[in-house]
């Protein structure tokens, strides 16, 4: 095992060992790593796996050699290390950007490559956990005779929607009947425009629909189905779904700020799986602004707004009169209106960054609101930070997530699509100024409290994690005694 100089490796090799496998995307890696940290903290060795391409990106973002990622890093009473497998696409092959080709390559190369990775482990493996979009991991675990589990990285509501669709347990919109209201236990009636867009007959992303539904086809072989959610947020749907599939809520999976994370305090390396290098100046810049003054804008790691939307967003933010911190990824930069970046810098009205340390940004007192695409991680991070939102969902589960934030949680407003500048301005004002904004802020603070309680020692999430670790300890007992 690598990293013998750390001195803790002997100890790690006697711990129960969990292999976790992530689909190669930031929104999948983050919750799985956060889960890994909680499990490892209880005295477990976690080997977190993804593809070679992810290794190259993590290494570049962290300025760390790929080999160093294999070193077990102490986390609480346990350890985390990374291992990678081939995704079947050459490093510089643009095929990787084509979802259909990537999925097909992963599906043929992934299973044997992962099986070989598990077989060569130097510490006996107690179980394998994967996240969605790589449903074949459960089959690999079964082939190796190992127990398996899934970490569902979207809401329990969205889990229930896909589950009922896959097993034909409710009527859904179809090409013949597009205008169907879906009725599911524990959820309000769902209009077609409230559903994950992949399920709509008009969705162009057939591959994503298929790969998500495939997981529901072999889910019965999983010993555990965890969900990145918490009881206080989704207890009705979790309870209503339990007669079909028990969901173990172990969220909100968020990272503690580094100074409270323990590992940094001990002079140890913080374990991250960042695919982008975060602009550290974001925090310093926020520090120069008064409390609750800044609009934070991000559409996550995948969504790219159209040129028209970027233009409207840009002038809408400027017209809001508030300072803004806007994440414009490198692949979206050229869609900014001509001269906008220069005007922002010259007038000092905002900061444009390619990637932000989002959780630290949301925790900063200068942030007044979060204009978000409502990816599930961003949704939970906003709730956990107690920050009001302007919801601007684009596709997939972002749509029901936005509905949850605005209607069920009452922590913000929805920006109608396609965005126009006056609406951007109106929505920002609605969640930052006046009496309604005050009420929204109060509700956001209540959600923050509920999220913190779930995660705290003795809270629902904490209890579920400890119970899982107890189970794997028993599974690993012959090897550890």
What is the Cα–Cα distance from 463 to 127, expressed in whole angstroms? 20
Q: CB of residue 341 vs ligand UDP: minimum separation in angstroms?
A: 16
Question: Is residue 373 flagged as an active site residue?
Answer: no
Residue number with CB closer to ligand UDP (230 or 355): 355
Q: CB of residue 303 vs ligand UDP: minimum separation in angstroms?
A: 6
What is the Cα–Cα distance from 296 to 278, expressed in whole angstroms? 14
CA distances for 459 relative to 75, 155, 233, 249, angstroms: 20, 19, 13, 11
Tokens of 481: 């005694």
Opening angle at CA 89, ends 86 and 90, nearest 5: 100
Q: CB of residue 168 vs ligand UDP: minimum separation in angstroms?
A: 28
Residue number with CB closer to ligand UDP (34 or 164): 34
What is the Cα–Cα distance from 236 to 231, expressed in whole angstroms? 8
Among 195, 155, 149, 199, smallest CA distance to 174 is for 199
The closest residue (CB) to ligand UDP is 27
Looking up tokens 């904004």 gives 437
What is the Cα–Cα distance from 26 to 274, expressed in whole angstroms? 7
Q: CB of residue 125 vs ligand UDP: minimum separation in angstroms?
A: 27
Among 465, 299, 284, 292, smallest CA distance to 396 is for 299
Q: CB of residue 1 vs ligand UDP: minimum separation in angstroms?
A: 29
Contact residues: ligand UDP, CB under 6 A: 26-27, 30, 298, 300-303, 327, 355-356, 358-359, 375-378, 381
What is the Cα–Cα distance from 9 to 249, expressed in whole angstroms? 31
Whether residue 195 contacts residue 173, with contact meaning beta carbons closer than 8 Å, is answered with yes
Q: Which entry of 28, 164, 289, 464 is annotated as an active-site residue?
A: 28
Whether residue 140 contacts residue 222, with contact meaning beta carbons closer than 8 Å, is answered with no
CA atoms within 13 A on the CB side of 344: 22
What is the Cα–Cα distance from 461 to 145, expressed in whole angstroms? 28
Q: CB of residue 118 vs ligand UDP: minimum separation in angstroms?
A: 26
Residue number with CB closer to ligand UDP (71 or 234): 234
Residue number with CB closer to ligand UDP (148 or 384): 384
Q: CB of residue 374 vs ligand UDP: minimum separation in angstroms?
A: 8
CA distances for 445 relative to 186, 252, 363, 390, 450, angstroms: 25, 15, 12, 16, 9
CA distances for 305 relative to 301, 329, 373, angstroms: 12, 11, 10
Looking up tokens 């126009």 gives 420
Residue number with CB closer to ligand UDP (88 or 252): 252
- The SS3 of residue 257 is coil
Residue number with CB closer to ligand UDP (117 or 325): 325
Residue number with CB closer to ligand UDP (51 or 148): 51
CA distances for 394 relative to 45, 410, 421, angstroms: 37, 20, 17
Q: CB of residue 399 vs ligand UDP: minimum separation in angstroms?
A: 12
Alpha carbon 16 to its chain's center: 26
Residue number with CB closer to ligand UDP (226 or 355): 355
- The SS3 of residue 130 is strand
Whether residue 22 contacts residue 50, with contact meaning beta carbons closer than 8 Å, is answered with yes
Which residues are known catalytic residues? Answer: 28
């Amino acid at each position: 095992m690598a990293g013998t100089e750390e001195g803790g490796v002997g100890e790690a090799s006697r711990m129960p060992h969990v292999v976790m496998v992530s689909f190669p995307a930031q929104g999948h890696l983050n919750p799985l790593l956060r889960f890994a940290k909680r499990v490892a903290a209880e005295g477990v060795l976690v080997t977190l796996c993804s593809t070679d391409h992810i290794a190259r990106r993590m290494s570049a973002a962290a300025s760390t050699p790929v080999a160093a990622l294999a070193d077990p890093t102490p986390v609480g009473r346990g350890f985390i290390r990374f291992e990678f497998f081939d995704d079947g696409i050459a490093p510089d092959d643009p095929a990787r950007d084509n979802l259909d080709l990537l999925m097909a390559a992963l599906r043929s190369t992934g299973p044997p490559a992962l099986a070989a990775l598990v077989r060569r482990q130097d510490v006996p493996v107690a179980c394998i956990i994967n996240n969605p979009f790589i449903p074949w991991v459960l089959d690999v675990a079964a082939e190796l005779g190992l127990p398996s589990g899934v970490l569902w990285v979207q809401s329990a509501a969205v889990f229930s929607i896909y589950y009922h669709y896959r097993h034909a347990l409710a009527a859904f919109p179809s090409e013949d009947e597009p205008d169907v209201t879906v009725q599911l236990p524990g959820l309000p009636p769902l209009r077609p425009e409230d559903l994950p867009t992949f399920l709509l007959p008009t969705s162009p992303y057939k591959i994503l629909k298929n790969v998500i539904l495939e997981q529901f086809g072999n889910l019965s072989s999983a010993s555990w189905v965890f969900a990145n959610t918490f009881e206080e947020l989704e207890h009705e749907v979790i309870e209503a779904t339990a007669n079909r599939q028990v969901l173990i809520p172990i969220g909100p999976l968020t990272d503690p700020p580094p100074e409270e994370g323990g590992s940094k305090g001990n002079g140890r390396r913080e374990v991250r799986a960042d695919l982008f290098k975060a602009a550290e100046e974001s925090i310093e810049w926020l520090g120069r602004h008064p409390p609750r003054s800044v609009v934070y804008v991000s559409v996550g790691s995948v969504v790219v707004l159209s040129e028209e939307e970027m233009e409207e967003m840009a002038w809408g933010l400027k017209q809001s009169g508030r300072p803004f911190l806007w994440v414009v990824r490198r692949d979206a930069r050229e869609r900014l209106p001509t001269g906008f970046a220069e005007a922002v810098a010259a007038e000092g009205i905002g900061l444009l960054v390619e990637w932000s340390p989002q959780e630290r940004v949301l925790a900063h007192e200068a942030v007044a609101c979060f204009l978000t695409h409502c990816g599930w991680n961003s949704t939970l991070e906003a709730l956990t930070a107690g920050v009001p939102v302007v919801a601007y969902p684009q596709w997939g589960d972002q749509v029901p997530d936005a509905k949850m934030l605005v209607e069920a949680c009452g922590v913000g407003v929805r920006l109608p699509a396609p965005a126009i500048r006056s609406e951007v301005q109106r929505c920002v004002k609605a969640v930052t100024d006046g009496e309604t904004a005050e009420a929204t802020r109060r509700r956001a603070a209540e959600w923050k409290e509920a999220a913190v309680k779930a995660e705290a020692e003795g809270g629902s999430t904490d209890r579920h994690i400890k119970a899982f670790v107890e189970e794997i300890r028993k599974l690993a007992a012959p090897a550890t005694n």
